[in-house]
Amino acid sequence: MGGVEGELFLLKDQKGRAFLVRLREGGVFHHHRGAVPHEAIRQAGPGGRVQTHLGEALSVHRPTLEEYVLHMRRSATPTYPKDASAMVTLLDLSPGMRVLEAGTGSGGLTLFLARAVGKEGRVESYERRPQHLAQAQGNVRAFWQVENVRFHPLALEEAELEPEGFHGVALDLMEPWKVLAKAAEALMPDRFLVAYLPNITQVLELVQRAEGLPLRLDRVLEVSWREWEVRLPVAHPRFQQVGHTAFLVAFRKWKDS
């Protein structure tokens, strides 16, 4: 199969269902409406089409980051892509920056951060559960070949961090208040710490625990993402939507006076 072993593709069926496929020599993709050899997928290439032996047409794509995160293997629930991209904006990330992340989980948010800071930048990602970290490392390396992520098998509480060494801090863990003082110390003045929290009670706890730290609450928000079904001449909002995912809480660091 010459050089395509391990290449990632996304197949979409007639109903819009998507399937991630990693090519293997002699491999076969099985859909409930038939099978397709990996070699046929490679030959069709991104933007092409294949047919299963039972006649189901499948379109062939390179997975986008959003598609990849939604379909990759997971040990922990990844940050939803609409929220991960909003976090990149709230963190004001750009190429060359250094970002601190905890917990790594399945590596979904890590990928958004890594792409935003680019090959001159760095993501230092902390995860306390070895099994999650192994999954995240596999997920990140399968999609993103740039070596700008360092994975640390540690709780953030145990990390040795350079004071004011980071342009941003991204937290997606249950009890971010436990690491808030440490993360605030590692953040550069005037830069942002953003936490992803499913429950409003967590948001209130976090805001309360930030009192006394050099962090000013900047914004609390939810990202709504409303998709429409357009089948001309008819158009209406999709009947099934992504509901509540999480609140995003952004703090900005004060300069030490």
Ligand X SMILES: C[S@@+](CC[C@H](N)C(=O)[O-])C[C@H]1O[C@@H](n2cnc3c(N)ncnc32)[C@H](O)[C@@H]1O
- Residues at the binding site are 106-109, 127, 132, 172
Q: Does 156 bind ligand X (CB under 6 A)?
A: yes
Of positions 63, 105, 121, 168, contacts ligand X by CB under 6 A:
105
| Cα–Cα distance, 245 to 129 (Å, whole number) | 23
Of positions 12, 33, 61, 129, contacts ligand X by CB under 6 A:
129
Cα–Cα distances in angstroms (integers) from residue 68 to residues 34, 78, 226, in the given order: 23, 11, 20
On the CB side of 56, CA atoms within 13 Å amount to 19
Phi, psi of 238 (to 5 degrees): -55, 145
Q: Does 229 bind ligand X (CB under 6 A)?
A: no
Of positions 77, 89, 224, 241, contacts ligand X by CB under 6 A:
77
Six token digits for residue 25: 């020599």
CB 103 within 8 A of CB 126: yes
CB 43, min distance to ligand X, A:
33
Question: CB atoms < 10 A from the CB of 257, how many?
Answer: 4
Q: Does 155 bind ligand X (CB under 6 A)?
A: yes
Of positions 60, 72, 79, 246, contacts ligand X by CB under 6 A:
79
Q: Does 131 bind ligand X (CB under 6 A)?
A: no
Which residue carries 């993360």 as its tokens?
183
Of positions 10, 21, 76, 206, contacts ligand X by CB under 6 A:
76
Of positions 172, 187, 246, 251, contacts ligand X by CB under 6 A:
172
Alpha helix (H) residue ranges in the chain: 38-44, 65-71, 81-90, 108-117, 130-143, 180-186, 200-209
Q: Does 87 bind ligand X (CB under 6 A)?
A: no
CB 106, min distance to ligand X, A:
4
Q: Which residues in this chain contact ligand X in the complex, by CB under 6 A?
A: 76-79, 102-103, 105-109, 126-129, 132, 155-157, 172-174, 179
